[in-house]
Amino acid sequence: MMDILNIFLSDSFWAASLRIATPLIFGVLGALLCERAGVLNLGIEGIFVVGAMTGWMAVWLGANLWGGIIIAAMAGGLFGLFHAILTVIFGLSQHVSGLGITLFASSAASFTYRTALPQVSSPPRIEPFRALDIPILSDLPFIGPVLFQQTAMTWLALFLVAVVWWVMEKTALGVAIKAVGDNPEAVNAQGLSVVKLRMGSVIAGSALMALGGAFLTMSAFDAFFFGMVNGRGWICIALVIFASWQPGKALMGALLFGMFDALQVRLQTEAGAFIPGQVFLMAPYVLSIIALVIVARKADYPRALLTPWFKGQR
Partner 1 sequence: MFLNKLTRRCMLAGVAVAATLGTAGLAAADAIKVAAIYTLPVEQQWISRIHKALNAADARGDIEYTFSENVANTDYERVMREYAEGGQKLIVGEVFGLERAARKVAADYGDTAFLMGSSFGPSGDNFSVFDNWIHEPSYLSGMVAGTATTSNLIGMVGGFAIPEVNRLMNAFMEGARATNPDVKFLVNFIDSWYDPPKAKESAFAMMDAGADIMYAERFGVSDAAVERGVKAIGNVIDTSADYPNTILSSAIWHMEPTIDRAIAAVAGGTFEAADYGQYSFMGYGGGSLVVDSALVSADAVAKVAQIEADIRGGLFRVNVNDARPVSDNK
Closest approach, Cβ 117 to partner 1, in A, equals 9
As measured in angstroms, the least distance from the Cβ of 10 to partner 1 is 7
Judged by beta carbon, residue 182 or residue 261, the one nearer partner 1 is 261
* Residue number with CB closer to partner 1 (281 or 286): 281
- CB 244, CB 295: distance < 8 Å: yes
Q: Which is nearer to partner 1, 135 or 227 (CB)?
A: 227
Q: At 177, which amino acid appears? A: I
Taking the C-alpha atoms of residue 213 and residue 5, their distance in angstroms, rounded to an integer, is 32
Eight-state DSSP code of residue 166? H
CB of 125 to partner 1, least distance (A): 7
Q: Which is nearer to partner 1, 110 or 188 (CB)?
A: 110
Q: Which alpha helices (H) appear in the chain, and where do they start and end?
A: 2-9, 11-36, 44-60, 65-84, 94-116, 143-147, 152-170, 172-182, 184-189, 194-215, 232-242, 247-271, 277-296
Interface positions with partner 1 (CB under 8 A): 10, 12-13, 16, 19-20, 107, 110-111, 114, 118, 120-123, 125, 216, 220-223, 225-228, 230, 261-262, 265-266, 268-270, 272-273, 277-278, 281
Smallest distance from partner 1 to CB 240, Å: 21
279-286: Cβ within 8 A, 24+ apart: 284/257, 284/260, 285/235
Nearer residue to partner 1 within complex by CB, 24 or 179:
24
Of 300, 265, 306, 297, residue with least CA distance to 15:
265
Could you tell me if 4 and 266 are in contact, meaning their C-beta atoms sit under 8 angstroms apart? no
CB of 114 to partner 1, least distance (A): 6
